[in-house]
Structure formats: C-alpha cells, structure tokens
C-alpha cells in the first residue's frame, strides 16, 4: 500500500473517549490489541497480528506490563483498537526468537490494508514518542502515560506533554520537458534514487522549505510549487508534505556531494528502461516518494505502475 490518499481516516480516533478512564478500561476488554516491541509490530503474511486482553495477560510472564495506547474505533462498526507497547522481561539473545511474529513498519507497510496501515502508523508513532519522552522537559521529573496514551503527565508539576510531529517537505522536481530529477543518498542501496526532502526549519513556510532544500541538495531554484498530498511517517516522528515544483534551469542541477551524491534527470522512457535493466531502484511502495513518482509516470498513456518495480530494501 502506498501513501494513503483519503481525507477521512478509516479509524475514528474518538478523542473524547480518551478522558474517560472507565470507558477505556471497558473497551480494552473487547479490543483488538496491536503489540509493539522495540519498534516492531505484530504482523504475519501482510496482515497485522492482534491480541485480545486475555492474551496480553497470558504473556505477562514473558513481557513487561507495558503501556496501553488507545488508537480509536473502526468507522464500520465501532471495534476498538489499542496498541500494547511492551518489552521482554528476559530478552532473548537470538534476534529470530525475539522478533518471531514481529516486523518493522518499513518492512511490512506496503503489504497492509488501509485500515491496518492507519493503525500501524498511529501505534508506531505513539510508541516512538513515549519511548523518548520519559521525563518532563520543564523540571526533569518522571512522566507517565495518560488519556489513553495521548499525553504524558509530569508526576512532579502535573504538566502535560503532547506528542510532537516534525514536518518535512518532499519534492518532485520537474523541468519544462516534463522530466523529473532524482537524487541518490550515500546511505541508500546502490542505484537507489528518489525525490528530494528535508525538515521545515523554525519560521519557515512549506514553500520556502521546498525552495531551500532543492537548492541545497540539487543546486537549482524552483517555481510553480504545488501541494500534492501528505503522509504520516513515524520514523521516528515525521509527516511528509509532498509538493511538485518546476525548475527553469535544469542544466544547472548539481548534487551537493554530502546529502546527495548523485542526481539524474529521467524521461518516462529512460526511467522504464533503467528499471527494467536494474540500473535504477525506486523508493519502496510504502513511501509517498514512490507514489509521487508513479503519479508522474502514469500521467501519460501507455505508462503503467507495473513498469516500475523498485527495490523494497531500505538499506544496503
């Protein structure tokens, strides 16, 4: 599954329910519970692997009590969903044993349904945030999860701390001939090329960030900047805001040599040939980058998504 495109989530986050501890406790008893351990989620054969409350109690001999995060209610019937963020009591040395039945969201995301992907994104994002915010940023005291996992509360001064999401732009750069410009980062597998991206800085608009990031990484200025879509990206806590943009000086494009070590312009035919010959690996299907590239590629008749078979591994 690529970047979600609907405006209405298939899961109702039911934020008013978070303040009612008794209701949350009751919902837990009949909930579908997604286990999360060390950034891995319960998943097998392209589907999430849910537990029930009885199963969680049974696993208490092997896993920590953990924390419960309310993910919401299904819009098609009201089924409650929770994440159970836990860890091993006696961690196995064997990684295969430790993560048996668990996979990372990066690895399994492209195989999930819209509902499962929505739940997994929420569960992983919350778990990442809770893991990295055990103490109050004001006084340094311990914080505890509250309101169904939607906040942490300081035990000393009672201040509430809410999850934060880091905005990042991602840009499909085109020229007047409708070619697209892609870049290669040194941490990626050889021959992996993708769109340009970067975090929004304080006091900066999305459009300003688009222009700055593309110039810093590829040496060209952009105009005709247009919003495309957005995608939750909890790796660890981002949201990708996707844009297309035009450069009037494609001949000036040059990799910065640090974040981007190679750049290349592609026509549709050049991309098709490069993918077929394994000279080009595109970003994995879960990413909004892949959705942007596929969207551009299929705008013209005769070009279909099946032409673009990218590598699904994220690292060399």
pLDDT of residue 8: 83
Q: Are 66 and 151 in contact (CB under 8 A)?
A: no
Do 20 and 112 lie in a common domain? yes
For residues 295-305, average pLDDT = 97
Do 174 and 224 lie in a common domain? yes
Domain end marker among 132, 152, 183: 132
pLDDT of residue 63: 94
pLDDT-above-90 percentage for the chain: 89
Do 62 and 143 lie in a common domain? no
pLDDT of residue 315: 57
Say how many domains are in the chain: 3
Do 174 and 294 lie in a common domain? yes
Do 22 and 69 lie in a common domain? yes
Least confident of 5-9, 247-251, 268-272: 5-9
Do 72 and 110 lie in a common domain? yes
Domain end marker among 113, 132, 151: 132
Compute the mean pLDDT over every residue in the chain, rounded to the nearest whole number: 94
CATH number at residue 19: 3.90.79
Do 170 and 288 lie in a common domain? yes
DSSP of the chain: --S---SS-SEE--GGGGG-HHHHHHHHHT-EEEEEETTEEEEETTEE--B-HHHHHHGGGTB---EEEEEEEETTT--EEEEEEE-BSS--S-HHHHTTTEEEHHHHGGGS-HHHHHHHHHHHHHHHHHHH--B-TTT--BEEEEGGGTEEEETTT--EE----EEEEEEEEE-TTS-EEEEE-TTSPTTB-B-EEEEPPTT--HHHHHHHHHHHHHS---EEEEEEEEEEETTTTEEEEEEEEE-S-GGG----SSS--EEEEE-HHHHHHHHHTTS-BPPPTTSHHHHHHHHHHTTSTT--GGG------S--
Q: Are 194 and 283 in contact (CB under 8 A)?
A: yes
pLDDT in tens, 191-213: 999 999 999 999 999 999 999 99
Question: CA 121, CA 125: separation in Å to the nearest integer?
Answer: 6
pLDDT in tens, 9-37: 999 999 999 999 999 999 999 999 999 99
Residues of the domain holding 250: 166-301
314 falls within a domain: no
CATH number at residue 278: 3.90.79.10
Q: Is the pLDDT of residue 2 over 50?
A: no
Question: CA 13, CA 202: separation in Å to the nearest integer?
Answer: 29
308 falls within a domain: no
Do 79 and 203 lie in a common domain? no
Do 181 and 101 lie in a common domain? no
29 falls within a domain: yes
Do 140 and 186 lie in a common domain? no
pLDDT of residue 313: 60
Question: CA 305, CA 75: separation in Å to the nearest integer?
Answer: 30
For residues 244-271, average pLDDT = 97
pLDDT of residue 310: 67
113 falls within a domain: yes
Q: Is the pLDDT of residue 7 over 80?
A: no
21 falls within a domain: yes
For residues 110-137, average pLDDT = 96
For residues 31-54, average pLDDT = 96
Confidence band for 76, pLDDT divided at 50, 70 and 90: confident
Question: CA 105, CA 234: separation in Å to the nearest integer?
Answer: 9
pLDDT of residue 309: 84
Do 138 and 125 lie in a common domain? no
pLDDT of residue 89: 93
6 falls within a domain: no
Q: Are 83 and 285 in contact (CB under 8 A)?
A: no
Do 172 and 285 lie in a common domain? yes
């Amino acid at each position: 599954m690529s970047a979600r495109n609907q405006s209405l989530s298939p899961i109702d986050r039911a934020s008013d329910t978070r303040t009612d501890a008794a209701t949350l406790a009751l919902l837990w008893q009949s909930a579908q519970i997604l286990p999360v351990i060390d950034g891995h989620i319960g998943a097998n054969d392209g589907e999430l692997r849910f537990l029930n409350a009885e199963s969680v109690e049974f696993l208490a001999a092997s896993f920590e009590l953990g924390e419960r995060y309310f993910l919401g209610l299904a819009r098609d019937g009201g089924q409650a969903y929770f994440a159970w963020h836990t860890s091993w009591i006696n961690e196995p040395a064997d990684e295969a044993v430790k993560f048996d039945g668990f996979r990372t969201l990066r690895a399994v995301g492209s195989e999930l349904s819209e509902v499962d992907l929505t739940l997994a994104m929420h569960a992983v994002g919350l778990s990442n945030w809770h893991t990295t915010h055990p103490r109050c940023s004001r006084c340094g005291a311990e914080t505890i999860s509250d309101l169904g996992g939607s906040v942490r509360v300081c035990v000393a001064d009672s201040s509430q701390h809410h999850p934060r999401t880091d905005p990042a732009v991602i840009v499909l750069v085109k020229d007047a001939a409708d070619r697209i410009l892609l870049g290669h980062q040194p941490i990626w597998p050889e021959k992996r090329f993708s769109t340009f991206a970067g975090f929004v800085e304080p006091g900066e608009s999305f459009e300003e960030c688009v222009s700055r990031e593309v110039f810093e990484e590829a040496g060209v200025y952009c105009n005709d900047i247009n919003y495309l879509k957005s995608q939750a990206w909890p790796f660890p806590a981002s949201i990708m805001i996707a844009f297309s943009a035009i450069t009037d000086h494609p001949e000036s494009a040059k990799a910065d040599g640090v974040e981007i070590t190679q750049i290349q312009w592609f026509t549709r035919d050049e991309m098709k040939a490069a993918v077929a010959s394994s000279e080009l690996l595109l970003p994995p299907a879960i990413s909004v980058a892949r959705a942007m590239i596929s969207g551009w590629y299929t705008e013209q008749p005769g070009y279909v998504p099946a032409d673009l078979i990218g590598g699904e591994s994220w690292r060399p």
